[in-house]
């Protein structure tokens, strides 16, 4: 069967959130598809879909529904055929997809590290006792309090530009962003310091772009296969299995990172109490093909150490 490629008259519809970072990720997806099939830009349409997570900015995610707030409306558009594929930040994705949808395509992963962002300080050690740090991430909040229980942590939501404005307005002395987002937006002017993963384990799948499609859409499957990055998929198989067995959501502080070295996969994971008073962590290595099983085993080990009421 010959692949029916999109045309300007009948474009391939790419669904995305409307934030600058989400649009940059959709544009990267479009560029890779254009190159893979030698197609013009107008053979693709970027379709911006408003999601609840972007509409509500004054409350923590755990109070309004968790990770699905960034995906629900986009997935509904995918299911009803309004769009052909959906582009997501993988760290925002629930571990289970709605029936009929598949998430099996990943672009090459960006820098996984967190960025310490401040107009005055270079790192956490530069902050005075009791300094105010803004973050909307329970993981970052918990990691910060584990290292610096003296800090005043305040809710800090919004896109990169919004958070930088809050720093300028003195709402907080520092915040944390993903290095991947800053790189994809080419925001070289942002005063940031990359935090080693040994000091702050990133969110599961941080820095990765995932592309979702309908399970019965053979054309989308064939097109996406041309731009899929295998190593990123191998890493995320381990990380997201780890997350799935911890029942990870926006209410559970979890860090996880898989790295490849030849035929070996190294997986690190940690779970934390929200106040930072307890941290359970593990580090294991094995064959790449065993990554998902390593994720499962690590999750069960940490849950056993932490006890049934940890989360």
Q: Measure the CA–CA gap between 240 and 256, rounded to whole angstroms.
A: 9
Of the residues 38, 42, 80, 92, only one is catalytic, namely 92
Q: Round to whole Å and give the CA distance between 245 and 296.
A: 6
Distance, in Å, from the CA atom of 29 to the CA atom of 98, rounded to the nearest integer, reads 22
What are 89's strand-pairing partners? 209
CA-derived radius of gyration, the chain: 20
CA distance 294 to 106: 21
Three-class SS of the chain: CCCCCCECCECEEEEECCCHHHHHHHHHHHHHHHHHHCCCHHHEEEEECCCHHHHCCCCCHHHHCHHHHHCHHHHHHHHCCCCCEEEEEHHHCCCCCCCCEEEEEECCCCCCCEEEECCCCCCHHHCCCCCEEECCCHHHHHHHHHHCCCCEEECCCCCHHHHHHHHHCCCCCEEEEEHHHHHHCCCCCCCEEEECCCCCCCCCCCCCEEEEEECCCHHHHHHHHCCCCHHHHHHHHHHHHHHHHCCCCCCCCEEEEEEEECCEEEEEEEEECCCCCCEEEEEEEEEHHHHHHHHHHHHHHHHHHHCCCCC
Active site residue 150: no
Catalytic residues: 92
């Amino acid at each position: 069967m010959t692949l029916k490629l999109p045309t300007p008259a009948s474009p391939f519809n790419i669904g995305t959130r409307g934030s600058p970072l989400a649009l940059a990720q959709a544009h990267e997806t479009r560029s890779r598809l254009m190159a893979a099939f030698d197609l013009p830009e107008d053979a693709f349409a970027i379709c911006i879909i408003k999601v609840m997570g972007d509409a509500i900015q004054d409350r923590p995610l755990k109070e309004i529904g968790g990770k699905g707030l960034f995906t629900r409306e986009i997935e509904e558009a995918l299911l009803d055929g309004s769009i052909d594929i959906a582009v997501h930040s993988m760290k925002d994705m629930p571990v289970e997809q709605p029936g009929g949808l598949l998430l099996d395509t990943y672009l090459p992963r960006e820098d996984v590290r967190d960025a310490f962002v401040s107009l005055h300080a270079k790192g956490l050690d530069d902050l005075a006792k009791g300094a105010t740090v803004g973050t909307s991430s329970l993981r970052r909040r918990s990691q910060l309090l584990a290292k610096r229980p003296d800090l005043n942590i305040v809710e800090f939501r919004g896109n990169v530009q919004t958070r930088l404005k809050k720093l300028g307005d003195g709402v907080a002395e520092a915040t944390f962003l993903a290095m991947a987002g800053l790189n994809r937006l080419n925001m070289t002017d942002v005063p940031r310091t990359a935090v080693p993963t040994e000091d702050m384990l990133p969110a599961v799948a941080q820095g990765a772009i995932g592309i979702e499609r309908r399970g019965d859409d053979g054309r989308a499957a064939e097109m996406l296969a041309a731009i899929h990055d295998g190593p990123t998929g191998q890493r995320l198989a381990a990380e997201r299995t780890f997350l799935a067995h911890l029942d990870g959501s926006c209410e559970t502080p979890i860090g996880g990172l898989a790295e490849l070295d030849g035929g070996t996969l190294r997986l690190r994971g940690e779970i934390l109490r929200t106040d930072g008073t307890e941290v359970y962590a593990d580090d294991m290595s094995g064959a790449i093909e065993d990554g998902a099983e390593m994720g499962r085993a690590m999750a069960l080990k940490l849950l056993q150490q932490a006890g049934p009421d940890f989360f």
